[in-house]
Amino acid sequence: MSYQGKKNIPKITSERLLIKGGRIVNDDQSFFADIYMEDGVIKQIGDNLIVPGGVKTIEADGKMVIPGGIDIHTHLQMPFRGMNTVDDFSQGTKAALAGGTTMIVDHVIPEPGSSLLEAFERWREWADEKVCCDYSLHVDITHWSDGIKQEVLSLIKEKGVNSFQVYMAYKDLYQMSNSELYEIFTFLGEHGGIAQVHAENGEIIAEEQNRMLEMGITGPEGHVLSRPEELEAEAVFRAVTIASQTNCPLYVTRVMSKSAADIISQARKKGNVVFGEPITASLGTDGTHYWSKNWAKAASFVTSPPLSPDPTTPDYLSTLLASGDLSVVGSAHCTFSVAQKAIGKDDFTQIPEGVNGAEERMSIIWDKAVVTGKMDENMFVAVTSTNAAKILNLYPRKGRIAVGSDSDLVIWDTDAVRTITAKTHHSAAEYNVFEGMELRGAPMLVVCQGKVVLEDGKLNATAGTGRFIPCSPYPDFAYKRVKARKQLAVLKAVPRGMYDGPVSEFSPMSRGGTPSASTRTSPSKTPARNLHQSGFTLSGPEEAPIRPAGRRIVVPPGGRSNITSLS
């Protein structure tokens, strides 16, 4: 197996590793086998492997060995109003590694009006310098024009980006109109990209925000009150509709509420190609904290779409995740310090949005879904890693333990229990939205690019060792169905003779934005005639009925119409 991204691999002095006695868990099956890795690639899998001497051997003692997690949604070092999120690529990826995640996919957010390519290069620069694990990038389309089209095309073809996010919220900033969404989805559908969508109805949010502020609600509770669950569901529904019209695979980022998740599962039942991504926070906690008396605590939960105040939401989402209706779990890790959040202390619309979750992601899923019996270990691997790899077209290089795959793997300790607290987490944020939660399941050992980076609770990550992994377009996971449908969905006109019957006189006026070019083709206009004198009829033989007088009509030079009669 060879990968086009391989040339990017910097020569690293990789260890030779043998993991003995582990139970390899992929998304399809689990089996006991040893794994031998060399040069950051899995070389052998099986029993009684013949390996060179001097190999570092790790005893797994029957524990689960799973593919390293892929966090498909992070915002590390994200610039926002002149500041950056407190977790940069180094801090953020360290947190990810500590939680068993060995690859992240970050969002490039260009300023509206600026070049996507430049923004992409800037992000590459920031990341290459600091990142501790492999990474890839989504590019957000914050405005749309023909120039952007070219940039998107070159990002897909040359830069290794296959997923682009658009926004249905953030009115007057990032928000796209329905027609723009239609064009973007059409374009991405043609070129093998994945359309990611931030689904919330920005128009109504803007109205609701004004209403809340007018009512004197300025605290973080205003955030959730002005972004009710329905608006998320509505936008998801609309996005699904547009995607299905344009035959483009859709990926809904941050599924935060039951109703939004329901829409996705219904759409999937109807056969739409749509993927839903709940995030760590929506699986692990709920939105009741927005009403906390402690402003800083309430503000720390502010993210968009907001966490649902319905406390049964996390349970519901993990059920849908377990049943496969939601496909993949991201973290949407986007951490602002309390001081940064406090920009919005007197106006909730100013609070920078984002929660932590990169480190807790895998454990939360294990605790909420696997320990509770909703999900088996294979599904756990699918939603934390394999599905993401498939969507990004990185499978089986990532997301699977197989010969030839990258040696990103985790020995998962199902019995470990840890209490989440801001004091011990690896993020630079001084709060943690999961503060005090006791989670079962944690990584015991993490191997990233063939090197042990987490062992005995100690993290040995080196900034700048991560590689950019280019994603190629047309991932099979999404596009196999889309391609087949494209072949089927060829629309054909009905071949009819020319309509040569009378055409009514009318005053030309453009309607519905469509040009009325062909409206005046009937050449002449003659005095009124009774319709019952015409041979025009719609059904069966005519028995000279007495018809009410018709209206003024234009008779074509050919006289009576024939092709318009049924016979």
Partner 1 sequence: MSDCRRQWNREDELPVYLAKPISTGPSQRHKSYGYTSIDFQQYAVGRNENRSSRSSSRERIVDGDFEAYEISGGTFISSPGERDDGRPGVEITDQTEKECDCQNNGKSERLLIKGGRVVNDDQSQYADVYVEDGIIKQVGENLIVPGGVKVIEANGCMVIPGGIDVNTCLHKPYLGTPPVDDFYQGTKAALAGGTTMIIDHVTPQPGESLLEAFEKWQEVADKKSCCDYSLHLDIPHWHEGVKEELEQLVQEKGINSFQVYMAYKGLFQMPDSQLYEAFSFLKELGAVVLVHAENGDLIAQEQSKILGMGITGPEGHPLSHPEELEAEAVFRAITLGNRVNCPVYITKVMSKSAADTVATARKKGSVVFGEPITASLATDGSHYWSKNWAKAAAYVTSPPLSPDPTTPDHLNSLLSCGDLQVVGSGHCAYSTSQKAIGKDNFTLIPEGTNGVEERMGFVWDKAVASGKMDENQFVAVTSSNAAKIFNLYPRKGRIAVGSDADIVIWDPDKIKTITAKEQQSALEYNIFEGMECHGGPVYVVCQGRTVFEEGKLQVQQGTGRFISRKPFPDVAYQRIKCRTKMMSKQGVSRGIYDGPVYDVPATPKYITPSPSAKTSPTTHQPPPIRNLHQSNFSLSGAQIDDNVPRRSGHRIVAPPGGRSNITSLG
Residues in 338-357 that interact with partner 1 by CB under 8 A: 338-340, 342-347, 349-350
- Nearer residue to partner 1 within complex by CB, 219 or 399: 219
The amino acid sitting at 22 is: G
Residues in 533-552 that interact with partner 1 by CB under 8 A: 536-540, 543, 545, 547-551
What the block records as the tokens of 124 is 């590459």
Q: What is the contact mask toward partner 1 in residues 498 to 527, using x (rule: CB under 8 A)?
A: xx-xxxxxxxxxxxxxx-xxxx-x------
Residues in 68-107 that interact with partner 1 by CB under 8 A: 81-83, 86
Q: Is 150 near partner 1 (CB under 8 A)? A: no
Contacting residue, 494, 523, 524, 527, with partner 1 by CB under 8 A: 494
- Nearer residue to partner 1 within complex by CB, 74 or 201: 201
Size of the site for partner 1 (CB under 8 A): 121
Q: Is 231 near partner 1 (CB under 8 A)? A: yes
Residues in 408-447 that interact with partner 1 by CB under 8 A: 421-424, 428, 430-432, 435-436
Integer Cα distance of 262 and 313 in angstroms: 11
- Nearer residue to partner 1 within complex by CB, 36 or 316: 316
- Nearer residue to partner 1 within complex by CB, 88 or 277: 88
Integer Cα distance of 565 and 279 in angstroms: 61
429 CA to centre of own chain: 25
User: Which range touches partner 1 (CB under 8 A), out of 139-147, 227-235, 364-372, 473-481?
Assistant: 227-235
How distant, in Å, are the alpha carbons of 19, 46, 291 from that of 404?
16, 14, 50
Bridge partners, 134 (sequence order): 103
Q: Who contacts 237 (Cβ-Cβ below 8 Å, separation ≥6)?
A: 263
Residues in 13-42 that interact with partner 1 by CB under 8 A: none
Minimum gap (Å) between residue 318 Cβ and partner 1? 22
SS3 of residue 474 by DSSP: coil
172 CA to centre of own chain: 22
- Nearer residue to partner 1 within complex by CB, 163 or 300: 300
Minimum gap (Å) between residue 254 Cβ and partner 1? 18
Helix (H) or strand (E) holding 444: strand 438-448
The closest alpha carbon to 41, from 401, 385, 468, 461, belongs to 401
Q: What is the contact mask toward partner 1 in residues 240 to 279, using x (rule: CB under 8 A)?
A: -xx-xx----------------------------------
- Nearer residue to partner 1 within complex by CB, 12 or 422: 422
How many Cα atoms occupy the beta-carbon half-sphere of 475 within 13 Å? 27
- Nearer residue to partner 1 within complex by CB, 57 or 350: 350
Integer Cα distance of 184 and 198 in angstroms: 14
CA 518, 524, 528: angle at the middle one, nearest 5? 115
* Length of the chain as a residue count: 567
- Nearer residue to partner 1 within complex by CB, 122 or 171: 171
The closest alpha carbon to 154, from 115, 123, 127, 196, belongs to 115
Residues in 170-199 that interact with partner 1 by CB under 8 A: 170-173, 177-179, 182-183
Residues in 301-320 that interact with partner 1 by CB under 8 A: none
The closest alpha carbon to 103, from 409, 473, 455, belongs to 409
